[in-house]
Amino acid sequence: MRGEHRGLGEFLIELGENPGQLRRYRKDRRAALADSGLSPEHQQLLLSGDVKRIQAELQREYPDAKVFLLPGWDDVMSA
């Protein structure tokens, strides 16, 4: 999935950082992905819209990253 293709995380960060690119993506996802430099597998993954699979792929891409805490009830009780 990698090699000559750009990373999924890199693409998502760039999309979040560049409102013009994000606008183009939202207008025509397939065209934006075709120009993205992502592997065909990653393009399909993003087209699927499956957040869990996207996060799993990101976890593979950044195996050392620590993630995903969710506030619990006691957070709210003390607020």
Residues that bind other proteins in the complex, under the rule CB under 8 A: 9, 11-13, 15-17, 19, 22, 25, 29, 46, 49, 51, 54-55, 58-59, 62, 65-79
Residues 6+ apart with CB under 8 A from 54: 8, 45, 46
Least distance from other proteins to the Cβ atom of residue 48, Å: 10
CA-to-CA distance for 37 and 32, rounded, in angstroms? Answer: 10
Nearer to other proteins, 3 or 62 (CB): 62
Q: At 1, list the tokens.
A: 């999935």
Nearer to other proteins, 3 or 67 (CB): 67
Nearer to other proteins, 4 or 26 (CB): 26
- H or E element at residue 26: helix 19-27
Least distance from other proteins to the Cβ atom of residue 38, Å: 10
From first CA to last CA, the distance across the chain in angstroms is 45
